[in-house]
């Protein structure tokens, strides 16, 4: 009887726990949609499964011209080249995003608390925002999620 009761409470505990998580998970994944049908598998793994590209792999690390960085999935304008700086981390880094470009959520993966940011328009993952460096904010971006367009 004792064992039965313990299992019963365990079961209740698990269902309460998962009912908290489930709607959030569903809600979050429902906001992500593939808009650009030409996305590569690597781009999709970052955008939809929150993978990270290899540091120093993005050609955008060296992009210094005037223009804007857009979401590679939906085309939304996310960063101005004026906010870009060389953080030395190997990922395209920005001090600030354009207003309303991103939504954030707390990410506890890899055993740390990090702030993840995703496109406010299509919901795909772009990177993490850190409070380090000379600037108070560092948007650490996956270059594969961005498309650079010269300012006209």
Q: What are phi and psi of 69, to 5 degrees?
A: -100, 125
Closest CB to Zn ion among 83 and 147?
Answer: 147
Q: Which of 34, 51, 76, 115 binds Zn ion (CB under 5 A)?
A: 76
Is position 120 an interface residue for Zn ion (rule: CB under 5 A)? Answer: no
User: Minimal distance in Å, beta carbon 38 to Zn ion?
Assistant: 14
Is position 145 an interface residue for Zn ion (rule: CB under 5 A)? Answer: no
User: Minimal distance in Å, beta carbon 119 to Zn ion?
Assistant: 3
Closest CB to Zn ion among 32 and 114?
Answer: 32
The residues near 87 (Cβ < 8 Å, ≥ 6 apart) are 93, 133, 138, 140
Give yes or no: 122 in active site. Answer: no
Is position 121 an interface residue for Zn ion (rule: CB under 5 A)? Answer: yes
Cα distance between residue 110 and residue 128, in whole Å? 13
Please, which contacts does 36-45 make with residues 24 or more away whose CB atoms are closer than 8 Å?
36/72, 36/73, 36/74, 36/75, 39/72, 39/73, 40/144, 42/144, 43/72, 43/73, 43/144, 43/145
Is position 140 an interface residue for Zn ion (rule: CB under 5 A)? Answer: no
Based on its alpha-carbon atoms, the radius of gyration of the chain, rounded to whole angstroms, reads: 19
Q: Which of 43, 61, 73, 97 binds Zn ion (CB under 5 A)?
A: 73
User: Minimal distance in Å, beta carbon 111 to Zn ion?
Assistant: 28
Task: Choose one: 47-55, 80-88, 92-100, 117-125; the region binding Zn ion (CB under 5 A).
Answer: 117-125
The tokens for 95 are 């001090």
Cα distance between residue 141 and residue 116, in whole Å? 10
Q: What residues are annotated to the active site?
A: 140
**Would you tell me which residues interact with Zn ion (CB under 5 A)?**
71, 73-74, 76, 119, 121-122
């Amino acid at each position: 009887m004792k064992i039965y009761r313990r299992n019963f409470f365990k079961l209740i505990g698990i269902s309460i726990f998962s009912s908290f998580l489930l709607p959030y998970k569903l809600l979050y994944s429902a906001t992500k949609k593939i808009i650009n049908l030409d996305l590569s598998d690597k781009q999709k793994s970052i955008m939809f499964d929150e993978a990270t590209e290899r540091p120093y792999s993005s050609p955008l690390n060296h992009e210094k011209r005037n223009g804007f960085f857009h979401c590679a999935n939906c085309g939304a304008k996310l960063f101005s080249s004026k906010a870009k700086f060389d953080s030395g981390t190997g990922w395209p880094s920005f001090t600030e995003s354009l207003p309303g470009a991103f939504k954030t959520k707390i990410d506890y993966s890899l055993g740390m608390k990090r702030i993840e940011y995703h496109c406010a328009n299509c919901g795909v993952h772009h990177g993490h925002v850190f409070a380090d460096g000379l600037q108070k904010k560092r948007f650490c971006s996956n270059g594969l999620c961005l498309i650079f367009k010269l300012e006209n």
